[in-house]
Amino acid sequence: MTSSTTPVWFITGCSTGFGRELARAVLARGWRCVATARNKASLADLADDASDRLLTLDLDVTDAMQIGASVDAALKRFGAIDVLVNSAGYGYQTAIEEGVEAEIRAQFDVNVFGLFAMTRAVLPTMRARRKGHVLNITSLAGLAGYAGSGYYAASKHAVEGWSDSLAVEVGPLGIKVICIEPGPFRTDWAGRSLKQTPNRIADYAETAGKRMQSTAQSSGGQQGDPVRAAQAMLKITEVSDPPRNLVLGAAALNGGTERLRALLADMEKWRDVTLGADFPASGK
């Protein structure tokens, strides 16, 4: 493929983490990339030997005007958006009871409402061309909630449910929707993309408090490799039947499997009670 026919990837949150590694992988493959960050100056190094295939843009996904302008700029430069990767987001850890309203809402503005708005802005061009991929980077937290991460998990669960509905709506139009569900990866997430409200209620010290401490201490030693994760994301856009959900890393596979098995076990255990909530077969 020539540079004018290679796929165009639009990636949010490229200043660090998965977004940055994915932008590097896309460019290394010889494809075109729209890399965005709150401050595009942080993306200057991505242009090495790829300036003709790279467009960097300032983008705060909570700013509707910036979203519209960035999509317009991408289409003006490359003529299409083949893959949208919603990578912008961050973590917020606190015990549920100790959560700060402003922090909770700020996280949802980025992780949930910003992602929704970004996708709505890109869908018209994908729909017109009857093709495209939407990759939503959620988390193992989108499958299972853990102590100290209730509000973060809620934001990721919201994206998971929304993505299920989106997939049904746009699937017949040739657009694939995939949730990327990583476990712990060496992306400096704890150092740069995590906020915490310190645990002060003693009753939560051994649950939320302990997990918040362990998150910071484990940063840099996670098993997950973001470079390999980026390659996996590239791969699923090249097949005709990509997964609806792509779990990344052993920790996510084990944690997700455990949660789903527990759910199925509960459903089976309480089967009679569940079915007893319906009207009898006679309808009376």
pLDDT at 33: 97
C-alpha 121/C-alpha 12 separation (Å) is 13
Label residue 281 by pLDDT band (50, 70, 90): confident
Is residue 92 over pLDDT 90?
yes
Q: pTM score, two decimals?
A: 0.93
* Domain-located, residue 203: yes
* Domain-located, residue 77: yes
* Domain-located, residue 278: no
User: What's the burial of 51, exposed, middle or buried (CB within 10 Å: 0-12/13-18/19+)?
Assistant: exposed
- Report the CATH number that the domain containing residue 138 is assigned in CATH: 3.40.50.720
pLDDT in tens, 51-66: 889 999 999 999 999 9
**C-alpha distances out from residue 254 to 91, 113, 244, 257, Å:** 21, 29, 18, 5
Is residue 49 over pLDDT 70?
no
pLDDT at 187: 73
Is residue 283 over pLDDT 80?
no
Mean pLDDT confidence for 74-92: 96
**What is the count of structural domains for the chain?**
1
pLDDT in tens, 163-209: 999 999 999 999 999 999 998 877 765 556 789 999 999 999 999 99
**Range from 131-135, 151-155, 225-229, 280-284 carrying the lowest mean pLDDT:** 280-284
Residue with more model confidence, 2 or 103: 103
Query: Residue 71 sits in which domain range?
Result: 8-251
17: which strand partners?
none
H or E stretch covering 58: strand 54-58
pLDDT at 192: 66
* Domain-located, residue 270: no
Give the chain's mean pLDDT: 92
Active site residue ranges: 152
Is residue 256 over pLDDT 90?
yes
**C-alpha distances out from residue 59 to 106, 135, 245, Å:** 16, 18, 26
C-alpha 258/C-alpha 253 separation (Å) is 8
